Amino acid sequence: MVRDGGCATAAIALAALLTGCGTPGAPQAPSLNLPARVADLQAVRTGNQVLLTWTNPARNTDNLPMKDSISVAICRQQPDEACEPAATLSSTPGMAGKFTETLPPDLASGAARPLTYFVELKNARGRSAGRSNGAESLAGAAPGQITGLTAEQNREGIVLHWLPDGEETAIRLRRTMLTAPEKRPQQGLLAPPSEPAEQNLLVMQGGPKGIALDKDIQLGQTYEYRAQRVIRIYRNGTTLELDSDLSAPVRIAAVDRFPPAAPSGLVGVASTSQDGTQPTIDLSWRPNREGDLAGYIVYRREGNLTWQRISPAPPLAGPAFSDAHVLPGHTYTYSVSAIDQTGHESPRSDETQETVPTQ
């Protein structure tokens, strides 16, 4: 047998094929280096501007890291029309994408109507893997900016007033808590939970226009409010919004200067012990709901005598009290007040009268 070194002879060619000796692997197709499609495009319109946000992919469609900048083509489409170019910009792979467009006059006027945005990421050769998801917004004339916004505090919360517009359907209040929450345990029988620094509160217009009440506040905090009108359109199971520009801000400190409401529902029941030696009058009432409530104080009088506090020095934690210092055959009148953490005491409740039975 002739040997020609290694596995080059015809006699062992088949074996070489089976064992892979000297056989290169299958050739790999070159990467097209196409940026992966954007799938999280979002659009928010405020006034006559639309803000687009998305995430640029860090890898291409072959799952290889992208190093070069990405060309971003942005277009917008009205129903039954072609997608019109809005902008072309350069962006960095793996970074957040952002673009703000001021609508042209024809899209910033007329009735509210759907407007869908797309972004298409392209490589250096101008090739792409396709358009992003469609992010819907609204074309049309934006509602007028709110003016005359004011804020004042009452017992129920922060009352906001503004100059009303006869056409408004909804109002969004943007509330920012300007003071940092205190780093201490919460106090009070119904201490409120912590709240986020920024909140959006949607006020649907069904009652008086030009007024809203924010009950969800924490005393001791300072808040800033801005307001905007909102046009809402329901389309394909989702709600599209067209917002006005934000109003000028107004600030207010939520100060604890109001006492709790007077307790209500006070009732008394006289009873005696089984052996008849210890009569009592058991009182109960509806609980107050103030977040800074410290407790309750019980007052009693007999006949036309002066009212006396008969509950202990620390306020009662719950809406009940048992008066064991009573005498058979005597009639007593009771009233209850509520007190908060800073010592503000409410007006007294309606009175209740009870007579201790004689054996």
What is the DSSP track for 207-267?
SSTTEEEE----TT-EEEEEEEEEEEEEETTEEEEEEPPPPPPEEEE----SPPPPP---E
The 3-state DSSP class for residue 353 equals strand
Give the integer Cα–Cα distance in Å for 319 and 345. 15
Q: What is the pLDDT of residue 1?
A: 40
Q: What is the pLDDT of residue 331?
A: 96
Q: In Å, how far are 11, 136, 218 from 177, measured between CA atoms?
A: 86, 31, 10
Counted residue by residue, the chain has a size of 359
Q: In Å, how far are 10, 13, 14, 21, 214 from 3, measured between CA atoms?
A: 9, 12, 15, 16, 96
What type of residue is 270? Answer: A
The 3-state DSSP class for residue 14 equals helix
pLDDT per position in the chain (359 positions), as tens? 444 444 444 444 434 344 444 455 555 556 678 999 999 999 999 999 999 999 999 999 999 998 888 999 999 999 999 999 999 999 999 999 999 999 999 999 999 999 999 999 999 889 999 999 999 999 999 999 999 999 999 988 999 999 988 766 789 999 999 976 555 445 555 555 566 788 888 887 666 789 999 998 888 899 999 999 998 888 888 889 999 999 999 999 998 888 999 999 999 999 887 666 789 999 999 999 988 899 999 999 999 999 999 999 999 999 999 999 999 999 999 999 999 998 999 999 999 999 998 86
- Give 237's contacts (C-beta < 8 A, 6+ positions apart): none
Q: What is the pLDDT of residue 97?
A: 95
Q: What is the pLDDT of residue 5?
A: 47
State pTM to two decimals.
Answer: 0.64
- What are the backbone angles phi and psi of residue 105, rounded to the nearest 5°? -55, -40
Answer whether 61's CB lies under 8 Å from 34's CB: yes
Q: What is the pLDDT of residue 147?
A: 95
Q: What is the pLDDT of residue 208?
A: 77
Sign of CA dihedral 156, 247, 74, 233: positive
- CB burial of 183-216 (b: ≥16 within 10 Å; e: otherwise) equals eeeeeebeeeeeeeeeeeeebebeeeebebebee
